[in-house]
Amino acid sequence: MKVSILTLEQILNQFKKSRQKSPQTYLAMYSSWLGGIVTDPELMLIPIDDHLVHRGDGVFEAMKYYERRLYLADEHLNRLLGSAEKISLPVPNTKEEIRTLIVETLKAAKTDNAVIRMFVSRGPGGFGPSPYDSCGSQLYIIVTNPKPFDPKKYETGVRVGISKIAMKDKFFATVKTCNYLPNVMMKKESVDNNWDFSVNISPEGFVGESATENIAMISQSNEFLIPSFKYTLRGTTLLRMMTLAKPHCHSVKERDLTIKDFLNAKEVLMCGTTMGIVAVTEFDGKKISNGKPGAFADQFAKLFKEDLLSYSQL
């Protein structure tokens, strides 16, 4: 078998052919490695020896840009910087510099609605595990078209199963790193079982989170209860909903919650950056809220939509 040695021109032509067959979802990318912004998807590349690629050595965030407003910008930026600090990853820019780079990348994207993903990587330099082989950490910012959540699910609710994938160690569960293999396997598990989401369980039997969303519940006494953050990432949307929910619930609490607690709940909710708030109408094969979205789910969804505009930054 003869394998061609490709020229740069041939590679770019092949990229263009491939892109023509797929939706144009990638709008703009800032790369500290390239030193600027590109709008051609063919040029949105990361070096193969960047430790982000072959070791998952990096941290990331995904933010919602809605009607030309960036939602929870400070919260996402603070968590990005906090995650980097926890794994001793130098961030090549200050918080305000990153904010400016986001604005400039959005201008280049020319869109009113998007998802903005930020990656801080250990950087290029060898294929070994040592972080000291890198030539310096890098920042990548990608603006993409939002992938809409199925609107029917807001009316019918979603199905949630119990994951068989082991929960991450407490340290890694609370850091948003790019080492997401357990999350990938949880998502695969959900698709294979015809669930919308699966949630993991700690060795002690406490409910954690889904692959990319947080879960919460309304108790029979109208308490808004959240699984302990000892086992989960502090979801920005969930934290915001905890604040918004206070006037509408008997109390808002974070605590250890079991499968039984969720099965006995008045309502169960999923919270995430891109989808917002959606009711869970089936949990571990049992109906929740008589199999229909309840009053709290409807109210919280409305609060979230209102907050998108009133609390948005940038």
CB–CB of 120/30 below 8 Å? no
Write phi, then psi, for 298 (nearest 5 degrees).
-65, -45
Mean pLDDT of all residues in 129-138:
95
pLDDT value at 132 more than 70: yes
Structure tokens at 72: 């929870």
Q: Roughly how many angstroms between the first and final C-alpha of the chain, as a whole number?
A: 55
Q: Which tens digit of pLDDT belongs to each residue from 163-211?
A: 999 999 989 999 999 999 999 999 999 999 999 999 999 999 999 999 9
- Residue ranges, CATH 3.30.470.10, the chain: 8-144
CB–CB of 262/283 below 8 Å? yes
Q: Which residues on neighbouring strands pair with residue 53, listed in sequence order?
A: none
Long-range contacts at 91-94 (CB < 8 A, ≥ 24 apart)? 91/120, 91/137, 91/139, 92/32, 92/120, 92/136, 92/137, 92/138, 92/139, 93/32, 93/139
- Residue ranges, CATH 3.20.10.10, the chain: 152-309
The strand pair at 223-227 and 251-255 is best described as parallel
Q: Which tens digit of pLDDT belongs to each residue from 56-101?
A: 999 999 999 999 999 999 999 999 999 999 999 999 999 999 999 9
| Yes or no: domain 8-144 corresponds to CATH 3.40.50.300 | no
Q: Which CATH superfamily is domain 152-309 in?
A: D-amino Acid Aminotransferase, subunit A, domain 2 (3.20.10.10)
Q: What CA–CA distance (Å, rounded) separates 138 from 31?
A: 8
What is the chain's mean pLDDT, rounded? 94
Q: Which tens digit of pLDDT belongs to each residue from 9-54?
A: 898 888 877 776 666 799 999 999 999 999 988 889 999 999 999 9
Find the helix packing angle between 73-86 and 95-109, rounded to 10°: 120
pLDDT of residue 314: 63
Q: What is the pTM of this model?
A: 0.93
